[in-house]
Structure 1
Amino acid sequence: MSLEEQIYIRKSCRKYLDDEIDMNIIHDFMKSAKPLDDDLKYHYEIFEKDEVKVRNRWSAPYYLALFCDKKEISKVNVGFVFQQLSLFLQSHGIGSCWDGLDSVKGKKPVILIAFGKSNEMTREISSFKRKSLDKISDFEDERLRPAQLAPSAINLQPWYFRHADEVFDVYQVRQNVLKRKIVKKWNPIDVGIALAHMYVANEEKFEFYIKSDFDKLDGYIYIGSIKI
């Protein structure tokens, strides 16, 4: 199955097998993963379970620790790049789950991705619990279905698309004080994950750029614009 097809069956995986994985599959894919901007720097390291402080009720045999600077757009880029990897891994029988709770001693990644071989990493599209298309955009648009199905921290889906001529202006929802305290650091990554789905579904046409003159919307933070 193609990476685009994985979008419609993907499930955040929390049950793993202990099978070993040849990490070259990751290193090779990352050579061709597309960033939002070539100037945005990031890197990753791979750890095994015994090297990770696990706070979740579940664990995986392997973890990707993802690193970048503290700029919001850099975190968006991390979500964008590594959701491509997540879909690729799934296409090879390797499940994954974005993991903001666990940590690696002596390291300060922006987030982890748990991963490993699994028999429980897909689902029917009817089981997705997501906002309707008209709740993530100024009006319902089937072209946004890939973004609608993207995973996010506590399933908040903090992205909003506004039609602007031939492009979509992309915004991040400003959370209330309580939610902001819990998920603020992960929301830019979530938006990047949604953008990754839009890229994978529109690989030949996808463009991302940042406008100097964008419309300010109450309750939203402008992230950038995409053309598909």
Structure 2
Amino acid sequence: MTPFEAIFQRQSIRHFRKDPVPETVLHKIENFEAELIPIFPYVKMETKVYRAEEYHSKMPALFGVQAPYYLAVYAQTLEGSRSNAGNLLEQIALYLHSRGIGTCFVGGMRPPKGAPTPEGMEFVIMLAFGLPKGELNRPAEKAHRESMERLCVYKQEPLRETQELIEAARLAPSSLNSQPWKFVVYRNRLHIFEVQKRQGGKRSAWQEINMGIMMAHILMAAEEYWIDVTMTHSDNLAEKPVANYRYVGSVLVKP
């Protein structure tokens, strides 16, 4: 299985065995950024693997998750850093799945007490991982995802390549399965909108991470299918008020 094929089979794993993950895999994911398909190349990031035993006190099982390994993402405090982190961590999660290793995004968890933070960066998000106790795969048809009809507003009949990008995006996981994205679809372009869910008048950090996860699927699909895409931003769309939606960006497909 390739990381792209894992898009159609990955599910969150909450129960793990204590067996060790190969050191070669741990080394690869700590250096994964060098192979990353980025959203915002100007945002620098670092990853760090922590083992369960590095948490000196007994850890609570967050949302029923207690794993032998945790991967932390740190990023510069810049616009787009959380989206970049979501993109990076989803691509790592799919790589791990392709190697038979289960993963689960965990909110509310931080690195071990006293763990150093890279200079000029902040901790963003954590991924629990390890060898699964149960079934690793889940067929795509059993994923609880919105239909194309609910996610998309079709302005034109899309190219096959455009449709393939949307299908990969549709299968993206999100916090609480919120799926906070909508697409306005033309023949060879997608305009991406985020459903507005604010906390105290501010954009939720998880919203930004979710959008990065979804963009990882689009970028990986473009690479897999050899689709030439350009990511752009329309000032006109950004300035046009749309109730309950925020314009994020556009993807242009070169026929």
Query: Aligned pair count?
Result: 226
Return the offset for 1:60: 0.8
Match of 2:128 among 83, 105, 114: 114
Match of 1:95 among 99, 102, 107: 102
Q: Which amino acid aligns with 1:188?
A: E
Distance 1:70 1:155 in 2: 26
Return the offset for 1:3: 2.0
Distance 1:54 1:64 in 2: 17
Answer whether contact 2:30 2:47 (CA < 8 A) is retained.
Answer: no
Greater gyration radius: 2
Distance 1:71 1:149 in 2: 28
Return the offset for 1:211: 2.8
Return the offset for 1:28: 4.8
Q: What is residue 6 of structure 1 aligned with on the other side?
A: 6
Q: How does 1:84-163 map to 2 (within 5 A)?
A: 84-104=91-111, 105-106=113-114, 109-118=123-132, 119-139=134-154, 142-143=163-164, 144-163=166-185
Residues 1:189 and 2:205 are matched in the alignment = no
Return the offset for 1:99: 1.0
Distance 1:135 1:71 in 2: 32
Answer whether contact 1:33 1:85 (CA < 8 A) is retained.
Answer: no
Residues 1:202 and 2:222 are matched in the alignment = yes
Q: Which amino acid aligns with 1:15?
A: H
Answer whether contact 2:33 2:45 (CA < 8 A) is retained.
Answer: no
Residues 1:66 and 2:66 are matched in the alignment = no
Distance 2:192 2:139 in 1: 28
Q: Which runs of 5+ in 2 are unaligned?
A: none
Return the offset for 1:92: 0.7
Q: What is residue 25 of structure 1 aligned with on the other side?
A: 28
Bigger CA drift: 58-67 or 198-207? Answer: 198-207
Answer whether contact 2:73 2:125 (CA < 8 A) is retained.
Answer: yes
Distance 2:199 2:92 in 1: 32
Q: Sequence identity, in percent? A: 30
Answer whether contact 2:30 2:48 (CA < 8 A) is retained.
Answer: no
Normalising by structure 1, we get a TM-score of 0.87
Distance 2:77 2:192 in 1: 20
Report the aligned-residue RMSD.
2.5
Q: Which runs of 5+ in 1 are unaligned?
A: none
The 1:158/1:88 distance shift into structure 2, 3 A limit, reads same
The 1:177/1:24 distance shift into structure 2, 3 A limit, reads closer
The 1:88/1:8 distance shift into structure 2, 3 A limit, reads same
Q: Which amino acid aligns with 2:142?
A: S
The 1:93/1:214 distance shift into structure 2, 3 A limit, reads same
Q: What is residue 35 of structure 1 aligned with on the other side?
A: 38
